[in-house]
Amino acid sequence: MLLFFFIFSISISHSQSIDDIIRVSSYYNDGTARFNAMGGAFASLGGDLSAISINPASSSIFIYNEFGITLGYDDNTIENNLNGYLSNTKSAEGTFNQLGGVWVFSNGKSKFSFAYNLQNVYSYNDDFNFSGKNSNSIDKYFLYYADGVPSDDLLIYSDETTQSVYRYLGENYGFGDQQAFLGYQGYVINSLDGSNNTYTSNATYNQVNQDINIERIGNHYKHSANIGGSYNNHVFLGVNLNFHEIEFQERKKFYEYGYSDNSNIQSINFNEYYQSIGNGFSFQLGSIIKIRNFRIGLSYQSPTWLDFTEENEQTLDTSVKSNNQIKTYNIDPKTVNIYDKYRLRLPSKSLIGFSYIFAKRGLISLDYEITKYNNAMFPDNDDNYLNELNYIIDNELSPTSQSIRLGGEYRIKNGSLRVGYFNYKGPENLIANKISGFSLGYGLDLGASRIDISYVSQTSYFTNNLYPKGLTTLYSTDKSINKIIASYHFNF
């Protein structure tokens, strides 16, 4: 397999889209078993390693040095809806949720803390299949990108290969011309007679059958280096320096068939692989104020600045009827497209939390968080393509998005019963796009150590396009997750 770098002009050197903002915003919070059992409502409570990731002042609530690790198991059910055709897929996986420690130093009425916490902010692991009938074919995808491209550029001459032409188009004209080349060489589209830059489809249909398989893997990890302090056990302050790691991989297999009897195209199999790797930085400021049994927590997370590299591979297989015979065409450029690095700014977040402590018997806690999607952007004002994406972000994403988390805990001797609820609104201007659920948990205090376990029932609903251009038919993904999460913490 040949690896090479594309050197594009400014207007075509990018593969990113608004989907990047939606995918990597990671507006859900995961963490320790106790954190999850109480719905993540820890902005005003602190004293939990995962609470540090939402309010840096949480570290200064700790009394002893502590280390903890959290693992989990997810049972997933995904229902997809394509034009009213429902498909179900089940899967299961083990998860790594959290790892961290806190060091506490007391001096009279003052207390200082240092902490590190690694949080799996979001898991992209999905594997699902769906199918349905559609009045739009993938020929629309190839026609969209071919419009205006000279057909002479899509030919393979005697001294050329599929690989060399695909590579040349990418280096000189970009992703769009490569898609036109695939469609043209696979006989999905043909140039119109008398025109060298206008195209027509070789597919004839009223409806087509479409089968789609999508495999995704990856995680968004956040490393938080924390410093906290308190005075007189009433005012707690903290700061996080966060380092983000994001890796996302997707394999997409699209198979289409069921054309009219007189169609030249009989079937299309379009396979793609996409990988995105990002590294970035954000900071957080937080405070917790105790007023007798009542606590107030405030936290601000700055925008996250991320640098991404991306790559993709593509193949196209078609079956074409010609002279009452079926011919197959395999268009495999054997090429990995590696795109220019780009920067993305994710939205900032503001959080307020309230809690009430019932002496040593239990507590109740409520968090309200606002994510400001109107300050997400591709920060390159000299790039027309990125400025166009920024315009789309301003008009297609909600300016702000809210989440609510509610949790409670009741102590019985050295055990604790917990319950929680959460509701996260997505960034799109669609009411249905959200993550919500409830949780239950139990914790056992062993003195110098603690074992916690939780159960989380979570549902998420999103709408997606089959492809960003051309074939933009919407399909929905309704995902139900049953999580079992276990944490072990010990003092040292």
What's the CA gap between 487 and 132, in Å, rounded?
Answer: 42
Does residue 195 lie in a domain region? no
- 264 φ/ψ angles, rounded to the nearest 5 degrees: -70, -40
Does residue 262 lie in a domain region? yes
Question: Tens digit of pLDDT per residue, the chain (492 long)?
Answer: 333 333 333 333 445 566 666 667 666 778 999 999 999 999 999 999 999 999 999 999 999 999 999 999 999 999 999 999 999 999 999 999 999 999 999 988 889 999 999 999 888 999 999 999 999 999 999 999 999 999 999 999 999 999 999 999 999 998 999 999 999 999 999 998 767 789 999 999 999 999 999 999 999 999 999 999 998 889 999 999 999 999 999 999 999 999 999 999 999 999 999 999 999 999 999 999 999 999 999 999 999 999 999 999 999 999 999 888 899 999 999 999 998 888 888 889 999 999 999 988 999 999 999 988 877 788 866 666 677 777 777 777 777 888 999 999 999 999 999 999 999 887 666 556 788 999 999 999 999 999 999 999 999 888 889 998 999 999 999 999 999 999 999 999
Q: Which of 463, 415, 403 is nearest to 441 (CA)?
A: 415
Does residue 482 lie in a domain region? yes
**Contact partners, residue 463, CB within 8 Å, separation at least 6:** 428, 430, 432, 433, 474, 475, 476, 477
Give the alpha-carbon dihedral of 464, 467, 468, 473, to 10 degrees: -60
| pLDDT at site 20 | 61
**pTM (predicted TM-score):** 0.88
| Structure-token pair, residue 1 | 């397999």
What's the CA gap between 78 and 477, in Å, rounded?
Answer: 7
Does residue 193 lie in a domain region? no
CA atoms within 13 A on the CB side of 25: 26
Does residue 152 lie in a domain region? no
| pLDDT at site 11 | 30
Residue bearing tokens 């769009």: 176
Task: Assign residue 225 the CATH number of its domain.
Answer: 2.40.160.60
Does residue 149 lie in a domain region? no
Q: Is 358 left (phi over 0), alpha (psi -120 to 50) or beta?
A: beta
Domain range spanning residue 395? Answer: 2-137+203-491
What's the CA gap between 156 and 158, in Å, rounded?
Answer: 7
Domain count, the chain: 1
Does residue 190 lie in a domain region? no
Does residue 374 lie in a domain region? yes
Beta strands in 83-139 (DSSP E): 85-107, 110-123, 126-134
- Name 224's bridge partners: 117, 242
Sign of the C-alpha dihedral, residues 24, 28, 31, 33? negative
| pLDDT at site 159 | 92
DSSP state of 397: B
| pLDDT at site 25 | 67
